[in-house]
Amino acid sequence: GAVVSQHPSWVICKSGTSVKIECRSLDFQATTMFWYRQFPKQSLMLMATSNEGSKATYEQGVEKDKFLINHASLTLSTLTVTSAHPEDSSFYICSATDLSGANVLTFGAGSRLTVL
Amino acid sequence: DAKTTQPTSMDCAEGRAANLPCNHSTISGNEYVYWYRQIHSQGPQYIIHGLKNNETNEMASLIITEDRKSSTLILPHATLRDTAVYYCIVRVDRSNFGNEKLTFGTGTRLTIIP
């Protein structure tokens, strides 16, 4: 089945630095990818919709200048957390759909960010 | 998309069938019921989905009531690895599904007891 790969699976950084998380669709192309964030003991919250070749669409309350999304190819979307602070520490998960396959939304394994 | 209601938590004995209920009383005629689960510190995993007929795959069975206002996910022989949070999601299954997001509720935390 469709596989979505995320890298890194976990990252620790200092406050004020930027962190990039990659999301790749393996063996299928994805014009659209979704980025979610999950805080401990809470459900997944959609942050933004990443569109290949165009600007991402952000959910209400998500700062687009802080969470930069780039979807430069049909198999790669990146999320950059700029000037990270401890409150940005969270589990970030991306997802995509293989429209030529089972046509269900497939999620990556997630990336755990800890900002010190 | 219609809202769903699930119990916060459930326990099930290992080897027994786990039956997870979901209420979606405001579901529309063109909305599907999807089930995902999330094992601790992993991304959600697709389980099954259906419109009005009962569905079965290698992971689970989905029973949807005739009025479609509720459904039950059945894990026929629960194992310890089935311990996870299970999410019931209702959404329209458009042809361009790839551009449609999923909205997660709080789900049911299922614990399989040895």
Task: Pick from A47, A107, A112 the residue to mutate for testing the B interface (most B CBs within 10 Å).
Answer: A107
Confidence at residue A5, expressed as pLDDT on a 0 to 100 scale: 96
Residue B39 near chain A (CB below 8 Å): no
CA distance A87 to A47: 15
A115: left (phi > 0), else alpha (psi -120 to 50), else beta?
A: beta
**Structural contact between residues A116 and A13, judged by C-beta atoms closer than 8 angstroms:** yes
CA distance B43 to A75: 18
In the 8-state DSSP scheme, what is residue A86? G
Task: Pick from B32, B37, B99, B103 the residue to mutate for testing the A interface (most A CBs within 10 Å).
Answer: B99
What rounded mean pLDDT belongs to chain B?
92
Burial (CB count <10 Å: 0-12, 13-18, 19+), residue B113: exposed
Structure token pair of residue B89: 């999601």
Q: Is the pLDDT of residue B114 over 70?
A: yes
- Backbone Cα Rg of chain B: 14
**Structural contact between residues B70 and B24, judged by C-beta atoms closer than 8 angstroms:** yes
Peptide bond preceding B114 in cis form (omega within 30 of 0): no
Confidence at residue A60, expressed as pLDDT on a 0 to 100 scale: 94
Confidence at residue B93, expressed as pLDDT on a 0 to 100 scale: 66
Q: Is the pLDDT of residue B95 over 80?
A: no
Chain A residue closest to B104 (CA)? A44
The listed range with the strongest mean pLDDT (A25-34, A98-107, B81-90) is B81-90
Confidence at residue B98, expressed as pLDDT on a 0 to 100 scale: 54
> What number is the average pLDDT over the span A30-39?
93
Query: Mind listing the pLDDT tens digit for each residue in B35-79?
Result: 999 999 899 999 999 999 899 999 999 999 999 999 999 999 999
Confidence at residue A18, expressed as pLDDT on a 0 to 100 scale: 97
The residues, ordered by sequence, that sit 6+ positions from A42 with a Cβ below 8 Å of its Cβ are none
**Structural contact between residues B100 and B40, judged by C-beta atoms closer than 8 angstroms:** no
Binary contact (A105, B42; C-beta < 8 A): no
Residue B98 near chain A (CB below 8 Å): yes
Confidence at residue A36, expressed as pLDDT on a 0 to 100 scale: 96
Residue A113 near chain B (CB below 8 Å): no
Query: Mind listing the pLDDT tens digit for each residue in A6-27?
Result: 999 999 999 999 999 999 999 8
Residues of chain A contacting residue B107, judged by C-beta atoms under 8 Å apart: 43
Chain A residue closest to B99 (CA)? A32
Q: In 3D, which of A78, A24, A96 has the Cα closest to residue B44? A: A96
Give the phi and the psi of residue B55 in degrees, each rounded to 5: -125, 150
Residue B8 near chain A (CB below 8 Å): no
Confidence at residue B1, expressed as pLDDT on a 0 to 100 scale: 66
Residues of chain A contacting residue B101, judged by C-beta atoms under 8 Å apart: 34, 46, 49
In 3-state terms, what secondary structure has residue A31? coil
Chain A residue closest to B105 (CA)? A43
CB pairs under 8 A between A and B: 58
Confidence at residue A101, expressed as pLDDT on a 0 to 100 scale: 67
Q: Is the pLDDT of residue A69 over 60?
A: yes
